[in-house]
Amino acid sequence: MAMPNFNPEDHGEEITAASAARRAREADVLAAMTADLEGTTAAKLAQQLVPVVPDGGALGRQLTPHVKKATKTRDRARIWAPAIGATGAFGVAVVVLPVTGPLAVYGVALVGFGWWHSAGRPGPVESIQMLFYTGADALARIRAWVARLTALRAAHEDRRTGRKEGPITD
């Protein structure tokens, strides 16, 4: 079992004194030390200190965008590795080996599982939602096709019977 990291610097926490009296005592001690340090060589050196950000210098600044891009590419490759690996392995197997019908079905299933897994493994709720929306879209398309066919049939019947649409006068 790994030990948890209790270093507050790693977590952005500040450990402060328990009471106001203790914080005041610490401030007094620091003030006395600052007064003792004033005007010394150490104080002059401390004023010259400039915080250094470890960015790698000119080379580091030039390589940083490329490293970030490589990291993104590596993360994408890791996410899509099951799909790419299964597809590649099945492609090599089809080219090299005599693949029978059942093996082809297993291979296609494995490739499909790899792509499903890489696409985020939609759960039952998401799968039902996708089925519902797909079904609703299909029904909307079927209704549009039926409406279009009805209009075409009506136009054909009008041409066939020679009816003219116009005002009815009796």
Which of 123, 121, 100, 125 has the alpha carbon at shortest distance from 112?
121
Please check whether residues 136 and 147 belong to one and the same domain: yes
143 assigned to some structural domain:
yes
pTM of the model: 0.38
In a domain, 20, yes or no: no
On whether both 89 and 105 belong to a single domain, the answer is: yes
Give the separation between CA 124 and CA 113, rounded to whole angstroms. Answer: 15
pLDDT of the residue at 148: 96
CA distance 112 to 123: 16
Q: How many domains does the chain fold into?
A: 2
Mean pLDDT, rounded, for 57-81: 83
- Domain of 145 in residue numbering reads as 123-156
Report yes or no on 16 lying in a domain: no
> Which is more confident, 1 or 111?
111
Q: Which among 89, 84, 115 is positioned nearest to 103, based on CA atoms?
A: 89
Q: Is residue 2 part of a domain?
A: no
Q: Are residues 114 and 131 in the same domain?
A: no
Residues 6+ apart with CB under 8 A from 117: 82, 83
Angle (CA) 131 137 142, round 5° = 120
